[in-house]
Amino acid sequence: MPTHTPDRTSQSPVDDVGAGEPALLLVPGWCGDRTVFANLAARLGASRRTLSTDLRGHGALRHQTEDFGAATAVDDLVDLLDAGGVRRVVPVALSHAGWMAVELRRRLGPDQVPGIVLVDWMVLGPPPGFADALAGLQGPAWRDVRGALTEMWTSGLDLPELDAYVASMCEYGQEHWGRAGREIAAGFAEGRTPLGLLSELDRPPGTLHLYAQPDDDGHLAAQEAFAQAHPWFTVNRLRARSHFPMLEVPDQMAGLIERFTGSLA
């Protein structure tokens, strides 16, 4: 399938393609828009209904300037599903949008949200120093922290589409990056981890983690060990190198997501 050129001038905050449920809801991370999913959504939409959305204040909704938090973003996702008549949905959440996917499952329950796909997230918890970076995003040195993050995401990778997307993220200012630091820190507060929080649910959802970074066999082994003890969790390290693997391997991701979603039925 050819590469789809993202349209960042679109006035609609939602792309809705395909048919069939469970539908897929693609949710970008903080300080990014839904164009990161353009190639992946085109492939997923060939098999089932696929919605990709901007968070409020992002992308086609950049005119919204009031402050908000992750809980409000989940309110928006619930409204989107209601308006679209979506009865069963699998969120596909990039990075720290995973907290929104977990909360969506908690609110709507297992019948409406039978599974979750997490993309390149810190499912076992944040690495050392990450809390300091989040605090830095909320302070006067936020540009330096943002620069360090974007350098980490692009260094050593000759991927024009990745460079363009990361550059679009840098168009957002301190208000957005500070909010991201605040909300991500709140998610990890009190030592919470994504897999720990999912484990506490009455019926943990089928959960698929697709990731490329870090390229560390020990990190993969730890997730595989968790999967052995918790059959509802599955992990797959992708044939990609960046924090945004959908820009590199949309075909591989689409195949894995479709297989996982089909198994939920």
Catalytic (active-site) positions: 243
For 112, other C-beta atoms within 10 Å of its C-beta total 16
* pLDDT value of position 6: 54
Whether 49 and 111 have beta carbons less than 8 Å apart is answered as no
- Half-sphere exposure for 120 (CA within 13 Å, toward CB): 23
Residue spans of beta strands (DSSP E) within 28-155: 50-53, 89-94, 115-119
Instruction: List, for the chain, all residue ranges whose pLDDT scores fall below the cut of 70.
Output: 1-10, 265
> Is the whole-model pTM more than 0.85?
yes
d(CA 259, CA 251): 12
Whether 90 and 261 have beta carbons less than 8 Å apart is answered as yes
* Fold of the 14-264 domain: Rossmann fold (3.40.50)
d(CA 186, CA 192): 9
d(CA 214, CA 198): 22
DSSP 123-154: TT-PPTTHHHHHHHHTSTTHHHHHHHHHHHHH
d(CA 15, CA 26): 10
* pLDDT value of position 8: 52
Q: Edge to edge, what strands does the sheet with 50-53 contain?
A: 14-17, 50-53, 23-27, 89-94, 115-119, 206-211, 233-237
